[in-house]
Amino acid sequence: MTPDLPLARLAAFARQQAVEPKPVSGIGGTVSDVSRSAIAVRGLSRDARLGDAVAIRAVGGTSLAEIIRVADRQVLVKPFDDRIIPSLGAAVFEEGPLSIRPALEWRGRVINALGQPIDGRGALLPGPRPMASENLAPAALRRGRVDRGLRTGVDVIDIFTPLCFGQRIGIFAGSGVGKSTLLAMMTRAADFDTVVLALTGERGREVREMLEETMVGHLDKTITVVATGDESPMMRRLAPNTATAIAEYFRDLGQNVLLIVDSVTRFAHAAREVAIAAEEPPVSRGYPPSVFSQLPRLLERAGPGSADSGGSITGIYSVLVDGDDHNDPVSDTIRGTLDGHIVLDRTIAALGRFPAVDVPGSVSRLAKHNWTAEQRKLVSQLRSMVARFEETRDLRAIGAYQKGHDGILDQAVDLVPRIYDALQQSPETPRSDDPYQKLAAALRGEKQASNP
């Protein structure tokens, strides 16, 4: 493979030279009103389209913004960097739709929502073709089937809510129950060719800890898109779309891609801020209508590619449940769009069991493609046993349980604690070759060695 390396570098260099600087459009306008929420521009109304980018010539430099509302005499734009505030009369030029040029060389890099490197490792080599940041989902009848099982390496998920290539699943959790740690563990899955990780609205401290501690040694095939909580709502709204566009590029190459968005709730919060700035009225718990159309547009872009390409995007989306309310409008919309949900429970986390997965409350709608008939029967019995154990917890706590009166409960009291012990994992826990064998050994009271 060594002789091919110079050729690969030469091809990448040629691509970089072939990408000409994007000319500034001759279509221009001027800033007519400035506020903290949006900037009004005159002179663009006839040619402006929602979602197009514009360049604003401000005193501190050129600021990129997006058109969020088009009216008869003016358009409203919102900058991606809200630290640059233009003055009245500043020149504004049409830039067209936002796009990026992903390439294989992007793996191992950390970028912002605009596709610019932020890891201090130099410029990114542009790929052969542009990918629209907000692309359309593939047509339903052109997509392949979702019927090939995969392993995530997280035993409780691989047993009770197994996934398939091209599946989209949500991890629903309140704050502080191990959501980000679980997602980091899932990025280590060996079944994927490329991992795209979108960290949206996260604390800056958590981003660095996740990349340098939890995911250390597993970043070579990962592209990380970061928009921290202190960045503008435009960047936080764009980051998941940019990550999805990158995943689409690798899917079109025939790769199996793992796309993780943490969290899609903060994407919804950012979309709400932008919609309110565009003067949309809030209709459901403070959310404007456009938020509930943007969510399925984002989520539907993941999934299998065309039947010919063979590629897929397996989407894992964390949902930050506000106040542990699993029925808020955003959670309801996401749950109804995805192919399953994994619920993390605060009570389980308080007991020190991680991952804190609520087994009876978690569902994978495509699990049947991953289970054998024997495994399906076993999981059904174990799930019923766990539910029985949990629903009688208060009864046992007050001493009202007596062994021998309920055979099913007796079995649950004996076996469920062993199940819980067997399924505990941390990022440092060696991974098992077969989670079912590991669980069976635990139920027999044996200890089984695991492989790193």
**Domain ranges, ordered by start, for the chain:** 28-97, 100-368, 373-443
Question: Using 50, 70 and 90 to split pLDDT, how confident is the model at 327?
Answer: confident
Task: At 43, list the tokens.
Answer: 């002179």
Q: For 201-220, what is the mean pLDDT?
A: 82
Question: Using 50, 70 and 90 to split pLDDT, how confident is the model at 17?
Answer: very low
Residue 104 above 50 pLDDT?
A: yes
Task: At 111, list the tokens.
Answer: 């970028």
Q: Yes or no: is domain 28-97 CATH 2.40.10.170?
A: yes
**Choice among 85-94, 186-195, 209-218 with the minimum mean pLDDT:** 209-218
| pLDDT for the residue 12 | 53
Q: How far apart are CA 15 and CA 129, in angstroms?
A: 10
Best-predicted range by mean pLDDT (182-186, 202-206, 250-254, 433-437): 250-254
Q: 74-79 and 194-200: which strand pairing?
A: unpaired
Residue 149 above 70 pLDDT?
A: yes
pLDDT, tens digit, 9 for 90 and up, residues 263-311:
899 999 999 999 999 999 999 889 999 999 999 999 999 999 987 878 9
Please list the helix, strand and coil fractions of the chain in percent, rounded to the nearest 5, in that order.
35, 25, 40
Task: Read off the pTM.
Answer: 0.90
| pLDDT for the residue 26 | 58
For 173, counting Cβ atoms within 10 Å of its Cβ (0-12 exposed, 13-18 middle, 19+ buried), the class is buried
Q: For 133-145, what is the mean pLDDT?
A: 91
Q: 168-173 and 363-364: which strand pairing?
A: unpaired
**Choice among 413-417, 437-441, 442-446 with the minimum mean pLDDT:** 442-446
Residue in 66, 70, 67, 76 with CA at minimum distance from that of residue 114:
66
Question: Using 50, 70 and 90 to split pLDDT, how confident is the model at 210?
Answer: confident
Q: For 169-193, what is the mean pLDDT?
A: 91
Q: For 225-231, what is the mean pLDDT?
A: 96
| pLDDT for the residue 18 | 47
pLDDT, tens digit, 9 for 90 and up, residues 373-405:
999 999 999 999 999 999 999 988 898 888 988
Residue 1 above 50 pLDDT?
A: no
Q: For 169-191, what is the mean pLDDT?
A: 91
| pLDDT for the residue 439 | 93
Candidates 3.30.450.270, 3.10.20.30, 3.40.50.12240, 1.20.1070.10; CATH matching 100-368:
3.40.50.12240
Q: Yes or no: is domain 373-443 CATH 1.20.1270?
A: yes
Q: How far apart are CA 389 and CA 337, in angstroms?
A: 31
Helix axis angle, 373-391 relative to 407-423, nearest 10°? Answer: 110
Residue 5 above 80 pLDDT?
A: no
Task: At 197, list the tokens.
Answer: 């990780």
Q: For 327-354, what is the mean pLDDT?
A: 94
**Choice among 4-13, 102-111, 334-343 with the minimum mean pLDDT:** 4-13
Among all chains, which residue has been given the structure tokens 């159309």? 293
